[in-house]
Amino acid sequence: MDPIRLWLVDDHSLLTDALATRLAAFTDLWVAGRSASDDPRLSARLERERPAIITVEPDTARVPLAELLGVLRAAAPEARLVALTGSKDPERALAAARLGVDAWISKASGMTHLVEVLRGVARGDAWFPPRFLGAVLRGLRDDVNRVGEGPLDQLSAREREVLGCMVDGMRGPQIAAELGLSTNTVRTHTHSVYAKLGVHSRLQAVSAARAAGLLPRPKDPVHMS
């Protein structure tokens, strides 16, 4: 039986090298390659190597997750996507699931568990931590129930606020300050907005919002003395 071809995407090269070395001990797994999220050759390399599974570290990626996953899907449409992460935020796991990630594995997991999940994903299984499943399943169920609504109707109240700030031209830190949120929480909501709107970038999200009628708020008039 041919080994399962893996590709590792992580911007921490030393950690990726260490993981590749440990995975090499399993004869049914083969690390076909590894790269940073912003590697300009990533698409070409994936098209050439055709991995069965691509692991991604969403928290350290220098490319927004929705954009990165779009690149991976386009270059390797048959590959299964696995988030290998240090995040303990179920909302981030839900956002990843909405973007098509098949598994969410903690970096704190032992090698035995990681390999078991990778083998299962290669067979067509999905895996999320049991403590996240409630939030993930409820979120995906709500998405199904919202089918047929307008694109902005799918967004939660907070996601609409984040999108509104994006339409107003704000960036992550500005949105965080405006809404009283952490930058990580803003990033999570942004990923969820991308997934629900079916877009892969800030520009596309703003364009979709404008098309749906969400326009920039009027600027406060400048008072001249």
Burial pattern 146-183, b for ≥16 Cβ within 10 A else e, equals: eeeeebbebbeebbbbbbbbbbbebebeebbeebebee
Instruction: Give residue 44's pLDDT.
Output: 95
Instruction: Give residue 83's pLDDT.
Output: 95
pLDDT band at 225 (very low <50, low <70, confident <90, very high): very low
pLDDT band at 2 (very low <50, low <70, confident <90, very high): confident
Q: What is the pTM of this model?
A: 0.69
pLDDT band at 216 (very low <50, low <70, confident <90, very high): confident
Go through the domains of the chain in sequence order and give each one's CATH number.
Answer: 4-132 (3.40.50.2300), 146-211 (1.10.10.10)
Instruction: Give residue 149's pLDDT.
Output: 64
Over residues 170-186, the pLDDT tens digits come to 999 999 999 999 988 89
| pLDDT at 219 exceeding the cut of 70 | no
Strands annotated E in 96-142:
103-106
CB 91 within 8 Å of CB 130: no
